[in-house]
C-alpha cells in the first residue's frame, strides 16, 4: 500500500516525509522533483519567504544509486529561514515570549487549534498548519509522478482563475505545458494572465489577498482505476479528499461538476462510442464515472480561498485579554494560486499512483509496467 507521513514546522529545522510502497526499480530524477519545488516557490503574488528559501529535497533512504530499492523513502527539505528562528523554535529550550502570537487570524487554524490543543502561544498552531508543509508533499508527489510516467500517464496543471478573472483554456492545445510555464501566473491564456496580474496588484495595494481556481489534467489513465464497490475506494472521492487537505482549498470539482448540476441529463452524460475500444464523445464527467476512471482525461479543479494573513488585518480578539484587536500579520503571500497548481498536481499524482498500485499490485517497476501493458491490450480488444 502506498502511503506517506510528513512532519515539520514552517520555521523549524526541516520538513520530512517517509513515503512507503514505491516499487523497486524506479529511476529517481532529482532534477525533476527539485524543478517542481522551484515552481511551487514561484508564481506572481508570492511573498518574501520565497526569497529566503531555496527548496531542494535530500533523499535519506530507500534509494540507492538513483534507483528505488523497495524500502521506505525518507526525504528532507531544510528550512534556510530556521537560522533566524532557532531561539524561537528550539525543540528542547526554555519557553520564551519572543514573537509570541496572541491575536488569531480569521479563516486560519489559529484560534481553534489554540483551544483544541490547550496552548498559550498560537505559534504552536500556525507553525504546523502553515502551507509551508506543502513543500514536502510536492516532493512526495514528484516521486509518484515519476512512477506514473512509467505506465504512460502524463500530468499537467495550470491556473484557471484568480479573483474575478477567469481564463479560457483549450486542454487539447499542444502548447499547453509550454504556455503555462512561460506565464508568471501559470495560466496558458496570455490575455487572462495579464488581467490576473492586475488583480493581484490591486489586492497588494489594498493590503488584501486573492484566491482562485487551478486545474489538474491527467492523460492516458487506463479505465478501471478506483472502484464502486466501497465508498473509500472511489477515485473521485479520494482525489477530493487529497485536494481538500491542501491549506486554503475549500471546494473540489471533477469535470463539469458544478455546471452539470443545472443541466438536463441529456446535456451532462458523455455518450459512448466504440473506436478501437470504448470511448466517450465528450468528457463532462472529467474522466471518472461510478468512482472509476473511464479512460478519458481526468480533469479535477481545486478552489482556493484568499489567504487569511492580511496586511490590513481583520477584526479579532487578544486571547490573553479578550479585548478586541486586529489580527496578527506575518510575512505572507498576496496570492498563492500559482503555487497551488503545483501542489495540486503532486496530490493528484499520489492518489493516482496509489490507485494504480492497488489495481496492479507490483513490487517492482518492471512488474508494474508489464501488467499495465497487458491490461491496456485487453481493453483495446474487449
The 10s digit of each residue's pLDDT in 224-267 is: 999 999 999 999 999 999 999 999 999 999 999 999 999 999 99
Helix axis angle, 30-41 to 337-360, nearest 10°: 140
pLDDT at 49 over 60: no
Can you give the pLDDT at residue 93? 81
Q: What is the pLDDT of residues 154-166, one digit of tens each?
A: 999 999 999 999 9
DSSP, collapsed to helix, strand or coil, labels residue 321 as coil
Can you give the pLDDT at residue 83? 86
Can you give the pLDDT at residue 45? 82
Residues 6 or more apart from 293 whose CB is under 8 A from it? 221, 222, 223, 224, 225, 226, 235, 287, 355
Can you give the pLDDT at residue 48? 58
Q: What is the pLDDT of residues 89-114, one digit of tens each?
A: 999 988 888 889 999 999 999 999 99
Containing 160, the helix (H) or strand (E) segment is: strand 154-162
Contact 153, 219 (CB under 8 A): yes
C-alpha cell at position 366: 518492471
What number is the average pLDDT over the span 366-375? 97
User: Quick one: what percent of the chain has pLDDT higher than 90?
Assistant: 84
Q: What is the pLDDT of residues 354-364, one digit of tens each?
A: 999 999 999 99
Q: What is the average pLDDT score of the chain?
A: 94
What number is the average pLDDT over the span 306-324? 91
Spatial CA neighbour of 305 closest among 107, 50, 130, 44: 107
Can you give the pLDDT at residue 47? 65
Can you give the pLDDT at residue 174? 82
Q: What is the pLDDT of residues 165-203, one digit of tens each?
A: 999 888 888 889 999 999 999 999 999 999 999 999 999
What number is the average pLDDT over the span 312-316? 90
Can you give the pLDDT at residue 277? 87
Contact 342, 208 (CB under 8 A): no
Can you give the pLDDT at residue 189? 95
Can you give the pLDDT at residue 41? 92
Using CA atoms, how far apart are residues 4 and 9, in angstroms rounded to an integer?
A: 17
Using CA atoms, how far apart are residues 244 and 87, in angstroms rounded to an integer?
A: 34
Can you give the pLDDT at residue 156? 96
By CB atoms closer than 10 A (0-12, 13-18, 19+), residue 172 is: exposed
Can you give the pLDDT at residue 216? 98
Lowest mean pLDDT, pick from 39-48, 188-197, 339-348 = 39-48
User: Quick one: what percent of the chain has pLDDT higher than 70?
Assistant: 98
Domains of the chain: 3-381 (3.60.150.10)
Amino acid at each position: 500500500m502506498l502511503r506517506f507521513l510528513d512532519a515539520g514546522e514552517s520555521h523549524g529545522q526541516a520538513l520530512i516525509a517517509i513515503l512507503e510502497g514505491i516499487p523497486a526499480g524506479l529511476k529517481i530524477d532529482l532534477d525533476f522533483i527539485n524543478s517542481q519545488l522551484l515552481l511551487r516557490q514561484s508564481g506572481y503574488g508570492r511573498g518574501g519567504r520565497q526569497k529566503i528559501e531555496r527548496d531542494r529535497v535530500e533523499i535519506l533512504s530507500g534509494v540507492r544509486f538513483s534507483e528505488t530499492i523497495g524500502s521506505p523513502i525518507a526525504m528532507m527539505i531544510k528550512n534556510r529561514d530556521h537560522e533566524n528562528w532557532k531561539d524561537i523554535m528550539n525543540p528542547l529550550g526554555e519557553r520564551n515570549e519572543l514573537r509570541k502570537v496572541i491575536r488569531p487570524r480569521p479563516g486560519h487554524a489559529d484560534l481553534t487549534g489554540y483551544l483544541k490543543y490547550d496552548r498559550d502561544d498560537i505559534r504552536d498552531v500556525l507553525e504546523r498548519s502553515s502551507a509551508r508543509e506543502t513543500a514536502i508533499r510536492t516532493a512526495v508527489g514528484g516521486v509518484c509522478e515519476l512512477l506514473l510516467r512509467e505506465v504512460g500517464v502524463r500530468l499537467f496543471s495550470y491556473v484557471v482563475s484568480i479573483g474575478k478573472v477567469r481564463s479560457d483554456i483549450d486542454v487539447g492545445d499542444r502548447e499547453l505545458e509550454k504556455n503555462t510555464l512561460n506565464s508568471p501566473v501559470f495560466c496558458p491564456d496570455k490575455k487572462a494572465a495579464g488581467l490576473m496580474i492586475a488583480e493581484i496588484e490591486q489586492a497588494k495595494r489594498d493590503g488584501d489577498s486573492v484566491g482562485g481556481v487551478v486545474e489538474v489534467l491527467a492523460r492516458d489513465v487506463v479505465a478501471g482505476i478506483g472502484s464502486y464497490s466501497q465508498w473509500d475506494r472511489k477515485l473521485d472521492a479520494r482525489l477530493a479528499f487529497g485536494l481538500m487537505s491542501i491549506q486554503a482549498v475549500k471546494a473540489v470539482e471533477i469535470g463539469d461538476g458544478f455546471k452539470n448540476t443545472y443541466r438536463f441529463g441529456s446535456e451532462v452524460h458523455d455518450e459512448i462510442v466504440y473506436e478501437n475500444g470504448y470511448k466517450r464523445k465528450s468528457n463532462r464527467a472529467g474522466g471518472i464515472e461510478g468512482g472509476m476512471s473511464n479512460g478519458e482525461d481526468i480533469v479535477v479543479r481545486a478552489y482556493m480561498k484568499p489567504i487569511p494573513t492580511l496586511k490590513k488585518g481583520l477584526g479579532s480578539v487578544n486571547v490573553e485579554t479578550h479585548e478586541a484587536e486586529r489580527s496578527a500579520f506575518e510575512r505572507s503571500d498576496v496570492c498563492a494560486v500559482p503555487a497551488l497548481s503545483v501542489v495540486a498536481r503532486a496530490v493528484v499524482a499520489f492518489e493516482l499512483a496509489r490507485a494504480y498500485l492497488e489495481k496492479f499490485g507490483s513490487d517492482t517497476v518492471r512488474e508494474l509496467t508489464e501488467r499495465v501493458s497487458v491490461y491496456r491490450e485487453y481493453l483495446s480488444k474487449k
